[in-house]
Amino acid sequence: MGSHSSLDAYLVPLRSPDQNPKRSRRPQWKRVLSELNGKFDPKYRHHISGLFMQSFSEIGAFPHSYHINGAPCQSHVNWVGGGGKGVSALEFDSKGIYLASATKGGCLTVHDFETLYCQANNSLPCLKEDETKHLLHIPTRHQIDVVRWNLANQDEVACASMSGSEVHIFDIGYISYKPVKVLRKRASVTIHGSDVHKGVSDIAFTSNDDSRVFASDTHGAIHVWDRRVSDLPCLGLTTNSSSNLNRIQVNVENQVIFGACKNGMIHIWDLRGGRPSTAFQSHKDVKFSPITSVKVASMLDKNRSLKAQSNIVPKEIHSIDVNPSCPYQLAFHLDDGWSGVLDIHNFQVTHIHCPPPPWLDGMSASIDLSYMRKPSWLPSFSYRVYEL
């Protein structure tokens, strides 16, 4: 009994029925009124502005004020002088430690991101990026529009230009202004004998083979190299269209490659077995058409509720990305701000994210502001979408 009495002191007494605590009122959803009448409450605007400034504080800028042989980098000189030679491409390595950047003026730099972040963040002690610690800083003197890390060899960075027809591969382990490899496209000649310029719009690598390189061009084709065989393509993937391929992406299993076209089409090529595989053993340029092509506007048009609310028109596909944890999901971003997810098993759009309505910008809903919406790249498959 004594032991039970000692335990009673630690028991919480039961509440009588008339002593039930008051129920806490669920906070009202702050956005419901703004969504109904299109007007922001001043208190809500003040609350959101704080969150906005907090997120904006994570954004910084760093000066591209580097030097080449003691002289200021020409990219920085052109930018300061109003030449419009700003940063044109960025990409992290697979571990997120190093950041490769390129400028329109032709400067290729590989930064240590932690040092770069500390330099750009005003809340941290001001640190000047040490140029001697750059893994790579090369003035190529040619316009650069795309930069990609070699997934199978993280010592290599590839870059190309929409104004050129070559892919330059640099090894960050070598302090040299010359690329370790230059991959060239085959010349295209018209019936009149003149050369057709086809710039490089994007580059892709497989994760299991550092010798295979893919590059899309501005005339709707993908050129494939086997670096062990030749500096010229051994395989060509065509779209039967002259529309620019804005983005190409190899799936997680390195078996399928996707191409996002400017005309609103997504093309899919199968790289597994068969003739495409044996083509890598040949010195001839073999061409293959996609196994299928889908038009994003047509996929969206199948959703009746979405069609009833929005004017769905064919739009340029600005970027695509494969879900690394779900290989059959392909995210896409359109030029007018729409984003979505395409299920490549049944070719259905399963998720969609629409751009903000006009009234959020303080304009009438009858005014078309789609021309003001700027596209953005999909750096990863982490943005929020809504299931249809």
pLDDT in tens, 52-105: 666 555 556 676 677 777 777 766 555 444 454 678 899 999 999 999 999 888
- Note whether residue 360 is domain-resident: yes
Specify the length of the chain in residues. 388
Residue 184, C-beta contacts closer than 8 angstroms, at least 6 positions apart: 165, 166, 231, 232
Q: Which of 80, 33, 41, 40 is CA-nearest to residue 362?
A: 40
Q: Name the H helices within 81-175.
A: 113-120
- The C-alpha angle 283, 236, 263, rounded to 5 degrees, equals 170
pTM for this entry: 0.72
- Report d(CA 159, CA 139) in Å as an integer: 12
Q: Does 376 score more than 50 pLDDT?
A: no
pLDDT tens digit string along 17-56?
555 556 666 555 555 555 556 566 677 667 767 766 665 5
DSSP one-letter code for 13: P
**Of residues 166 and 84, more confidently modeled:** 166
| pLDDT tier at 174, thresholds 50, 70, 90 | confident
More confident residue, 140 or 158: 158
Number of domains in the chain: 1
Q: How confident is the model at residue 189 (pLDDT cuts 50, 70, 90)?
A: low
* Angle in degrees, CA 260, 261, 267, rounded to 5: 60
Euclidean distance between CA atoms 294 and 299, whole angstroms? 8
Among candidate residues 347, 346, 353, 345, the one with its CA nearest the CA of residue 381: 353
On whether residue 307 sits in a domain, the answer given is yes
Confidence (pLDDT) at 134:
72
Let me know if residue 338 belongs to a domain: yes
Average pLDDT over residues 347-353: 84
Does residue 159 belong to any structural domain of this protein? no
Within a domain: 5: no
Flag whether pLDDT at 123 surpasses 80: no
For residue 384, give its domain range: 294-388
Instruction: Determine the average pLDDT of the residues in 375-381.
Output: 44
Residues 273-315 have pLDDT tens digits of 544 444 444 445 567 888 889 888 888 777 777 666 666 666 7
Q: In this predicted structure, what is the pLDDT of residue 66?
A: 76
Distance, C-alpha 17 to centroid of its chain: 59
pLDDT of residue 280: 42
- The answer to whether 357 touches 325, Cβ cutoff 8 Å, is no
Q: Is residue 312 in a domain?
A: yes
pLDDT of residue 69: 74
- DSSP per-residue letters across 174-185: S--SS-SEEEEP
Q: How far apart are CA 251 and CA 245, in angstroms?
A: 17
- The pLDDT of residue 43 is 72
pLDDT at 167: 96
> If you average pLDDT over residues 318-330, what whole number do you get?
89
Higher per-residue pLDDT: 361 or 248: 248
Give pLDDT, residue 383. Answer: 37
In the chain, alpha helices (H): 2-8, 32-37, 42-56, 74-80, 113-120, 274-278, 296-301, 304-309
Q: Is 171 exposed, middle or buried (0-12, 13-18, 19+ CB in 10 A)?
A: middle
Pull the structure tokens for residue 29: 């959803």
The chain-wide mean pLDDT, for the chain, equals 75
**One-letter amino acid of 181:** K
**Is 182 within the bounds of a domain?**
no
pLDDT higher at 7 or 40: 40
Span of 60-74, 336-350, 369-383 with lowest mean pLDDT? 369-383
Question: According to the model, what pLDDT value does residue 25 have?
Answer: 61
The answer to whether residues 227 and 181 touch, using CB atoms and an 8 Å cutoff, is: yes
The reported pLDDT for the residue numbered 213 is 96
Query: Which segments of 113-211 are extended strands (E)?
Result: 136-139, 146-150, 153-160, 166-171, 181-184, 200-205
Predicted confidence at residue 257, as pLDDT, reads 94
Across 129-133, 345-349, 354-358, least confident range: 354-358
- Both tokens of 138, joined, read 């090369």
Does 233 or 354 have the greater pLDDT score?
Answer: 233
Region 114-120: mean pLDDT is: 75
Please, how many CA atoms are within 13 Å of residue 54, restricted to the half-sphere of its CB?
Answer: 6
Q: Which residues contact 280 (CB under 8 A, 6 or more apart)?
A: 212, 224, 226, 229, 234, 235
Quote the Cα angle for 42-52-337, to 5°: 105
Residue 371 lies in a domain: yes
